Amino acid sequence: AQSVTQLGSHVSVSEGALVLLRCNYSSSVPPYLFWYVQYPNQGLQLLLKYTTGATLVKGINGFEAEFKKSETSFHLTKPSAHMSDAAEYFCAAGGSNYKLTFGKGTLLTVNP
Amino acid sequence: NAGVTQTPKFQVLKTGQSMTLQCAQDMNHEYMSWYRQDPGMGLRLIHYSVGAGITDQGEVPNGYNVSRSTTEDFPLRLLSAAPSQTSVYFCASSYSAGFEETQYFGPGTRLLVL
């Protein structure tokens, strides 16, 4: 069964600092991988996704993620945090049965 | 396009009551799904549908029923609400069941069962 682990339920960074949110997946077959962002009292919005091809994926709002098969990881990064990046971030993996498995989420706080 | 819409936004139920959470999309998407979101648990798939007349169970289907009579609508029914069903419910849709397609999420329904 697919599982997704997000390391750190809460990450705090200063404005302008590097953002690194960690995600590892468990699968014998490389899955499809996603990062979603959820702002307070809103639904989820897709940041980026990896399906096939280039392992470095660029998304919206300056975020990017790199698929590393050898490490079964799909960490999310942004070079310089902005106050507007404060939100909860979810990593998800999809298998061949069209079901998405989500991680438990990481709350990102950006300090001025 | 209105995208994915959900009603109601908030609902309070008493244990044992029934209700239907509505989900509609106007993007002609074939694939629709329901998730529940609980603190520290992420989102968990309840039921999904790959097209009108076709539904299947997700990770946590117990206590919930679904049907898909039209492409646009995918209601979620709670037949006898329990406090354990207190959660935020999200509906999502995509053009097809393949993960090449982006899933679009609705704004959610917050449900409190007393």
pLDDT number for residue A98: 67
Q: How confident is the model at residue A95 (pLDDT cuts 50, 70, 90)?
A: low
**Nearest-CA distance B17 → chain A (Å):** 25
Dihedral sign for Cα atoms in the order B71, B75, B79, B82? positive
Chain B residues near residue A102 by CB distance under 8 angstroms: 35, 42-44
Please write the tens of the pLDDT for every residue from A35-46. 999 998 888 999
Q: Which of B50, B90, B102 sits opposite A43 (nearest CB)?
A: B90
Please write the tens of the pLDDT for every residue from B12-43. 999 999 999 999 999 999 999 999 999 888 89
Please write the tens of the pLDDT for every residue from B43-96. 999 999 999 999 999 989 999 999 999 999 999 999 999 999 999 999 999 887
Q: How far apart are CA A109 and CA A93, in angstroms?
A: 24
Whether A7 and chain B come into contact, CB under 8 Å, resolves to: no
- Do B22 and B11 contact (CB within 8 A), yes or no? no
The pLDDT of residue A96 is above 60: no
pLDDT number for residue A62: 95
Strand spans (E) along chain B: 4-7, 10-13, 19-25, 31-38, 42-51, 54-57, 64-66, 76-78, 87-94, 104-105, 109-113
Torsion of CA B78, B82, B84, B86, to 10 degrees: 60
DSSP string covering A30-92, please? Answer: --EEEEEEE-TTS-EEEEEEE-SS-SEEE-GGG-EEEEEGGGTEEEEEESS--GGG-EEEEEE
A to B CB pairs, distance under 8 Å = 53
- For chain B, the residues whose C-beta falls within 8 A of a C-beta of chain A are 4, 31, 33, 35, 40-45, 48, 50, 58-59, 90, 92, 97-100, 102-103, 105-108
The DSSP 8-state label assigned to residue B103 in this structure reads P
Instruction: Inspect the interface and report whether the beta carbons of A43 and B98 lie closer than 8 Å.
Output: no
pLDDT number for residue A76: 98
User: Residue A29, class by beta-carbon neighbours within 10 Å (0-12 exposed, 13-18 middle, 19+ buried)?
Assistant: exposed
pLDDT number for residue B34: 96
> Chain A residue closest to B110 (CA)?
A41
CA atoms within 13 A on the CB side of A25: 30
The pLDDT of residue B101 is above 80: no
Q: Which two tokens stand for residue B111?
A: 């449900």
Q: How far apart are CA B43 and CA B88, in angstroms?
A: 9
The DSSP 8-state label assigned to residue A9 in this structure reads S
Please write the tens of the pLDDT for every residue from A53-68. 888 999 999 999 999 9
pLDDT number for residue B39: 86
Whether A60 and chain B come into contact, CB under 8 Å, resolves to: no
